[in-house]
Amino acid sequence: MTPGRWSLFWPLVILVAGFCLSLISATHYLSARIDRYLSFLPDRALSTLQGYAAEAAQALAEGPDALERWRRQRTEVSPELLALVDEDRRPLAGQALTERQRRMLGFVRDYDGLMSRRGDGRPTIRVPLPDQSHYLVLRLPEALAPWGQRALLNLMLLYVVPGLLAVLFCVLLYWLLISPLERLRRQANAMRADPLQSLLPASLARRRDELGELGRSLEFLTLRLRQSVAQQRQLMRDLSHELRTPLSRLGVAAETELPLPELRNRLEREVGNMRELVDSTLELAWLDSVPGRLDCEAVDVNALWDVLREDALFESGWQPEGIVTALPQGCHVLGNLNALAQALENVLRNAIRHSPPQGRVCFSAEQAEGCWTLCLADQGPGVAEADLQVIFRPFARLNKARPDGDGFGLGLAIAQRQINLQQGHIWAENGEPGLRVCIQLQAV
């Protein structure tokens, strides 16, 4: 999969590449600085050598014997070579030098110049006397060598600097990845103490990378669960409320000395009502828990309506002219056959129930912009404009507008969820007169 423009891949590439380049650059820069620092004598060593030159000048001023005594006394400073020379590197009179020491005079460098560890590591240096016409020549004492701190500096270069850069890299990585994940973890854990509360920080919700998508998915899941739990709780409350009435009537019937046939009829009717109520409630709860959409196929609305119309005429006892069909030929929609059949059946029963005696129910369809709009209109009293959305809520029964008290107010709620699972849309509007329920589905 190719990373997108806002993918975390690019910040990680920049972060890792920046870390590597920073490590290389810092190591190279510090290595060069350390090498240059260790190539020159420190101020303390320069002062010490200048002190030796001052002592040598004083001994030279006192004579050859004093100079020789001073050389013997300072032998430990530079056992290999300790001599006074002129500007041409010739030893001053009175100094006994070996052949090896005379050869060493050919490799003399200034004491404040660049040092080198070639050979055995200690260069031969010259220090000017105060008169600037003679020089003290000696092998650099090991105690004054600048590379005595190389081990410590190399330790810093090889371990401390990479360690600090690694800590900085980890801090940036934590800020980029771990911190948002920690906030998501706190949101998930908070659901245990304060169930289903939305806690996604705004800064994380605005991110366009994978972590932002993960946060928004978790947010959607939280909202979906909260909505589902709220619906389930509301269904349980409504179901318990609706069951109290038939149970109360059953209790009254059991306490009343009714004739056996009348008592049997009462029991059968109340038990049937309760069974219908429980079945409809369970179906509504199942529809609320179905994710995504139902499997859809091409459905012939004309053939489906003929079956539903015949069943409705048989159940209601209406005359055939009471249910008018105004469907054009070739009305095919993309839907789920069983779900669409049950949704249309619930809407049709609702229309028949609320139509007056000898009323008419009309089913029509119109095609526009790649969709079929199926409309089923009755001749009932209609509903108030403010209640056109309320009638699709579970257990919604508007007794003032719909005086008939049959039903539990679940038919339209079930129909709405079934149409939504088919990627369709259902709504209600007042007609002239009555109520029109419209269903819009994709045309095939």
| Closest to 121 measured CA to CA, from 102, 100, 142 | 142
Q: Please tell me the total count of domains within the chain.
A: 3
d(CA 351, CA 356): 10
Which residue do the tokens 């040598």 mark? 56
The interaxial angle of helices 179-193 and 210-255, nearest 10 deg, is 10
Output the 3-class SS for 249-318. HHHHHHHCCCCHHHHHHHHHHHHHHHHHHHHHHHHHHHHHHCCCCCCCEEEEHHHHHHHHHHHHHHHHCC
388 and 410 share one domain: yes
- Residue 27 located in a structural domain: no
pLDDT the model gives residue 428: 94
420 and 335 share one domain: yes
Written as six digits, the tokens of 311 are 């069943």
pLDDT the model gives residue 11: 83
pLDDT the model gives residue 36: 79
What residue type is assigned to position 209 of the chain?
D
d(CA 11, CA 74): 65
d(CA 326, CA 377): 11
Written as six digits, the tokens of 12 are 């990680």
- The CATH number covering residue 355 comes to 3.30.565.10
The alpha carbons of the chain give a radius of gyration, in whole angstroms, of 50
pLDDT the model gives residue 336: 92
264 and 204 share one domain: yes
422 and 300 share one domain: yes
- For residue 300, the cross-strand partners are 332
The interaxial angle of helices 260-289 and 411-420, nearest 10 deg, is 30
Q: How far is the CA of 51 from the CAs of 44, 54, 89, 128, 383, in angstroms?
A: 11, 5, 21, 11, 112
122 and 222 share one domain: no
| pLDDT digits 0-9 by tens, 324-374 | 999 999 899 999 998 999 899 989 988 998 888 888 999 999 999 899 999
230 and 336 share one domain: no
Q: Write out the residue range of the structural domain in which residue 59 sits.
A: 43-139
Pairing of strands 435-442, 425-430: antiparallel
- Residue 435 located in a structural domain: yes
Residue ending a domain, among 92, 107, 139, is: 139
Residue 92 carries which DSSP code? P
| pLDDT digits 0-9 by tens, 210-249 | 777 777 777 777 777 777 777 777 777 767 766 777 787 7
| Closest to 71 measured CA to CA, from 98, 106, 60 | 60
Pairing of strands 124-128, 108-110: parallel
- Residue 177 located in a structural domain: no
- Residue 158 located in a structural domain: no
By residue count, the chain amounts to: 444
91 and 229 share one domain: no
pLDDT the model gives residue 401: 41
DSSP calls for 401-421: T-----S-S-HHHHHHHHHHT
Q: What backbone phi and psi angles, to 5 degrees, belong to 16? A: -70, -45
Q: Is 321 helix (H, G, I), strand (E, B) or coil?
A: helix
431 and 313 share one domain: yes
- Residue 150 located in a structural domain: no
Ranges of the chain whose pLDDT falls below 70: 1, 117-121, 148, 150, 190-203, 205, 238, 241-242, 288-292, 397-408
Q: End-to-end CA distance of the chain, in Å?
A: 34
d(CA 19, CA 169): 7
Q: CB burial class (10 A; 0-12, 13-18, 19+) of residue 365?
A: buried
pLDDT the model gives residue 129: 93
d(CA 123, CA 110): 10
d(CA 169, CA 23): 11
pLDDT the model gives residue 119: 53
d(CA 312, CA 342): 12
Pairing of strands 323-326, 332-335: unpaired
pLDDT the model gives residue 236: 75
Written as six digits, the tokens of 283 are 């179906």
H helix intervals, 79-138: 99-104
pLDDT the model gives residue 405: 46
- Residue 264 located in a structural domain: yes
Query: How many CB atoms are closer than 10 A to CB 258?
Result: 15
399 and 346 share one domain: yes
